[in-house]
Structure 1
Amino acid sequence: MSVPLGLAYLPWYDRHLGRLRVQWIGPGLTRSVRKFGVHAMSISFNCECGKPLKSKEEMAGRKTKCPHCGTLLTIPGTLVRPATAATTVARAEPANPAHPDALRVEGLDWTSPEASTTATAPEPVSASGVDSLRRPDLPRPDDGSKQYKVLGQRDHSASGKINFASMEATLNEQAHHGWVMKAAFVINLPGHSGSHDEVVLILER
């Protein structure tokens, strides 16, 4: 009995087996699934000795021996290899090989030691928390005459407000360079939001 072209691929219900079967074109090759779900796909084929054999679908393409005659056979179908962790999990690229704790910044080349050093090196600050030496001292006069320096509130306070601890640290720092405070006074200065008081220090050496 001949089967019209295309009908060999259509599923049909086997009343005796209680499952849907799909007949594929090939020498004795069939694949079957149960009508309602949980039944693993299987491969049915015939040995050269004529005995019918059956195997799991994941064994397709592997070698096996016929339990009846001992002939070495290849299970029909395409070999299905299990996925490995190396092929399914992408290897994460470190954010910064040289500095694991640093964050990756787009456009910054972490592979360059000079770039990473420049990006992560902190700027030096003075002990008082402000750069009170932002104005370099003039060289001392050859005749031994006195020198004076005026420090505004921005020079001895990082926030620009009166901070006695910061002021003390600034005076101690200046003392290492030979400066001594000679006077301190408060002036009232106008501003955008109103006038405010500022402490001015006069240093001498």
Structure 2
Amino acid sequence: MDSMKNIRRYQGAVDRGMWERLNGHKALAIWFTGLSGAGKSTIAHEVEKTLFDRGMRVKVFDGDNVRHGLCGDLSFSLEARAENTRRIAEMVKLFLENGTICLCAFISPLRADRLRVREIVGAGDFHEAFVSCPVGECERRDTKGYYRLAREGKIKNYTGVSAPYDAPLDPELLLETEKMSIRDSVEAVVAYILKTSAL
């Protein structure tokens, strides 16, 4: 017997609309995708600080941090990456119900996995931000030497070296960080969020 058949979603007394009215803005998810070193986490955290200073309810979900807990049991195989992305999407969905602006910084290299996130989160809430940067520039920024180790074969399944990355075809936001400063990227994201999250 499938035990999930006996589980029902519980609807509390406070719904998403009530949270959004309390917060003064709509909830949404910005999904930053790009190669390691492109600037995803840096931009997400700067956006978080800017929105926090404006009194908005906001949370960053960072790939490295999630790997320490919720997804600490997963490897970096394509199958494990897909499960990593699925778990994050389900978690983000819960935060959206709480009226939170979710800033999600994950390589999430496969287009199919990102489409799955869009389905789980909801097309109206999912906003893809492609943090675009050539692999050579990402490697130049890599102070930890991960790209070098990947090229030496010491790190397996490293995106951009020994594992594929599917660039977004039609992202809601395009941040070309080889050309744009962090400040310009942050301002572009903040402007988009303020417009999109307005009640």
Both proteins in one fold, TM over 0.5: no
Q: TM-score, normalised by structure 2?
A: 0.20
Higher relative contact order (CA 8 A, sep 6+): 2
Larger helix proportion of the pair: 2
Larger strand proportion of the pair: 1
Structure with larger Rg: 1
